[in-house]
Amino acid sequence: MRAYLLSIPGEVIEAARVDGAGQIRAFVSIVVPMSRNALVTAALFTFLFTWSDFLFALTLTTTEQVRPVTLGIFQYIGTYVNDWSSVMATAVLASLPAVVLLLVAQRFVAAGVSSGAVK
């Protein structure tokens, strides 16, 4: 995000300020739409990281009401070791939200990954 935001020309923001926009209005109207690809990419990577977080959840969760899917699959494997078909079915179902989000945001990710890399 930082690399992309630094690549936004200052002249564009300055032109919005000259036209009468305040700092917040220039940010909302100019910077946010220009950085849409980078924002979607960062949000998607953050979601994927937290969706598959295992070690953090294993050490810090104390109740069974709130836990990530990966920890539930791990505890299910510990209980029903010989039933691998249900474990694999659960793993496929657990990966569906991430796959759907990646398919929906595919064009944003392709544009957002490379946009802040070149100056």
Q: Indicate if 52 and 77 belong to the same structural domain.
A: yes
Is residue 10 included in any domain, yes or no?
Answer: yes
**45 and 79 share a domain?**
yes
| Helical (H) or strand (E) element with 28 | none
Whether 68 is covered by a domain: the verdict is yes
Distance (Å) of CA 85 to CA 16, 32, 78, 91, 107: 58, 45, 14, 10, 34
Residue 77 included in any domain? yes
Residues 27-62: tens digit of each pLDDT: 998 888 888 888 888 888 888 887 777 788 788 877
The share of the chain scoring above pLDDT 90, in percent, equals: 3
Q: Is the pTM of this model over 0.75?
A: no
CA 90 from chain centre, in angstroms, equals 22
Instruction: Tell me, yes or no, whether 58 and 100 share the same domain.
Output: yes
Q: Where in the sequence is the domain holding 22, given as residue range(s)?
A: 1-34
Cα separation, 68 vs 65, in Å, equals 10
Q: What is the DSSP string of 43-54?
A: HHHHHHHHHT--
Residues 75 and 52 in one domain: yes
Statement to judge: residues 80 and 107 lie in one domain:
yes
How many domains, the chain? 2
